Amino acid sequence: MRIVFSIVVAVSLTFVLRSSLRHHPYRYYLGAGAISLLLGFWTVPSATTWLDTYILDLFRRGTLATALWCIVMFAGALPNGKLKRIWMPLRGTLSILAAILTLCHTITYIRIYASPVARPSLPMSGLQIVAIHLSVFLLLIMIPLTILSFPTIRSKISPKRWIAIQRLAYVFYLLLYVHIMLLLMPSATTGHLDAQISIFTYSLIYLSYFVLRIKKAVASRHGRSGCAASLLES
């Protein structure tokens, strides 16, 4: 359910803030960094359930970051049109923002699993252990791709080499889907409606992306599309 709400928030932000996101990205990077450190390292005392579920958890559970990743994915796969025109120029900024916000999620769970107090009360199933190990690869891909998204760094690398490195984004998207499925499936199979809605929503997003991406590849093969941009930019 959180992912549905996160997508509504993320898409709305790209419409409302698109001009300042393009012209003042560093303000958003600093803001996201502050939020990630604050919510990652500090537990808000007596936060109401509403505040927890619809605000704080969007950051701590990684869903707002993942909603931004989804926009980064779709902008490249969408056919030419209004949505693509709005999202394409924002892709570098959104992927850097998503990475900074993902740090909140990572810090939150590393603190939980590393803490000698919390960990014993959280027996990890085999699936969870696999998902957590997978997340290490997610981070190992996310960090270099994010660094390469900064225009100053990108300008130092040949466009051909930059696009080749960005192909790792496909591995990232796939591992992210597996990470989420492995972690949400146990509660979904025991009838947890929230997890079932989330699994359905993530699968629908990935399936639609897959179809759009294939359509684009077929169209470009038939020479109708032709734009060569990076994967995180494609």
Question: What residues make contact with ligand HEM under the rule CB under 6 A?
Answer: 2-3, 61-63, 65-66, 102, 105-106, 109-110, 113, 132, 135, 138-139, 142, 176, 179-180, 183, 198
Q: How far is 49 from 54, CA to CA, in rounded Å? A: 8
Q: How far is 36 from 32, CA to CA, in rounded Å? A: 6
Contact 46, 119 (CB under 8 A): no
Q: Which is nearer to ligand HEM, 62 or 92 (CB)?
A: 62
Cα torsion angle, 118, 2, 142, 188, sign: positive
Closest separation between CB of residue 9 and ligand HEM, Å?
14
Q: Which is nearer to ligand HEM, 169 or 216 (CB)?
A: 169
For 174, the token pair is 């796939």
Contact 15, 86 (CB under 8 A): yes
Q: Which is nearer to ligand HEM, 76 or 216 (CB)?
A: 76
Q: Which is nearer to ligand HEM, 54 or 215 (CB)?
A: 54
Closest separation between CB of residue 188 and ligand HEM, Å?
11
Closest separation between CB of residue 215 and ligand HEM, Å?
25
Q: How far is 138 from 197, CA to CA, in rounded Å? A: 24
Closest separation between CB of residue 149 and ligand HEM, Å?
14
